[in-house]
Structure 1
Amino acid sequence: MAAHFRMSDLGALTYYLDIEVRQGKEALTLGQSAYASKLLERSGMVECKSCVTPMEERLKPTKASTASKAVVKRVLRYVKWMVDQGIIFPKTSGSRLQFTVFNDADMVEDIDERRSTSSVLVFLG
């Protein structure tokens, strides 16, 4: 018995895996404002004051720290500030995209496990 599948055109992509896709004449924009707003609503932080950084600069919480609830609130305040932000891919004819990667390592800064941590920042433009 053969299976028959029918493909249909659903139009331009607008939403995928909690990522909003806006396709304009000048650019393609990816964002998560609906997801961020839902997260703030579920946590009761819709009316919170926003902040521009996700963590206090010199704060290094441990697993045993009692500050974990304050840290989560700080991250949610940062989400409030970033709620309408997104990634913009400009549409330019004839140009090529440039892929740039930065890496940062923090040697033995994990207080609990005494392990190094690292992060990666990727630019596509």
Structure 2
Amino acid sequence: MSDLGPLRYFLGIEVSSTSDGFYISQERYIQDLLARAALSDERTAETPMELDVHLRASNGDPLTDPARYHHLVGSLVYLAVTRPDISYLVHILSQFVSAPTLVHYSHLRVLRYLRGTISHCLFFPHSSTLQLQPYSDATWASDPLDRRSLSAYCVFLCGSLIDWKTKKHTTVSRSSAEAELRAMALLTAEVIWLRWLLEDFGVSVSTPTPLL
């Protein structure tokens, strides 16, 4: 074995160390993705997705060559490792990889958003209190086809984002309160697992009540 020195770049993930902490980003990966996407102009977008968009499998005409859609969405899935701000959109677009249409492809405007936010990254400070801070939310009956809800959560440790996820419910919730409770249950299970994991590394943390 050989010592390669401080970690700086690994599998498309860049790590920068400063006196304050660590910055983790995928800026170079985004640049490569934009080059492969070959956008026709230099426009940017302020948000990953337009508001109040409800995509269906039947929207628009099928793509003649879905391979490009598969490649771009697959790249976005890996990019979500350091970009939680696109995780919801990636969850939505991933549902149509089996039969993408022109409408689905048009919502890859997220590439323009990434162009304008290419320097965004995650920050992990050297010093802060060892406390897990979990947050959850849910959309009630938001899927236009099966009326199932979506749960989303994020967990901070020492003020740094370490875990996040968007997941569709397996059953239909009969009220927004039920959807929120399912989101809370999903988050609680994740927090318990994180505490067990951290304890295995000898790290003892405190956990406040999950916030909706």
Q: TM-score range by the shorter chain?
A: 0.7 to 0.9
Give the match for residue 85 of structure 1. 120
Matches of residues 1-125 of structure 1 in structure 2 within 5 Å? 7-45=1-39, 47-66=41-60, 67-72=103-108, 74-92=109-127, 95-124=128-157, 125=159
Q: CA 1:13–1:68 in 2, change beyond 3 Å: closer, same or farther?
A: same
SS in 2 for 1:105: strand
- CA offsets, 1:31-75, max 9 Å, x none? 010111111110112843111211111111111112212211x21
Larger helix percent: 2
In 2, the alpha carbon distance for the partners of 1:29 and 1:46 equals 31
Contact conserved, 1:29 with 1:86, CA < 8 A, in 2? yes
Cα RMSD of the aligned pairs, angstroms, is 1.8
Instruction: In structure 2, list runs of 5 or more residues that go unmatched.
Output: 61-102, 160-212
In 2, the alpha carbon distance for the partners of 1:47 and 1:12 equals 38
By relative contact order (CA 8 Å, sep 6+), the higher-ranking structure is 1
SS in 1 for 2:107: helix
Could you state the TM-score of these two structures normalised by the residue count of structure 2? 0.50
Amino acid at match of 1:59: V
Contact conserved, 1:27 with 1:88, CA < 8 A, in 2? yes
Q: CA 1:46–1:12 in 2, change beyond 3 Å: closer, same or farther?
A: farther
Identity over the aligned pairs, expressed in percent? 35
Contact conserved, 1:106 with 1:117, CA < 8 A, in 2? yes
SS in 2 for 1:42: helix
Contact conserved, 1:46 with 1:80, CA < 8 A, in 2? no
Instruction: In structure 1, list runs of 5 or more residues that go unmatched.
Output: 1-6
Could you state the TM-score of these two structures normalised by the residue count of structure 1? 0.81
Give the match for residue 4 of structure 1. none
Amino acid at match of 1:12: P
After TM superposition, give the deviation of residue 28 of structure 1 in Å.
0.6
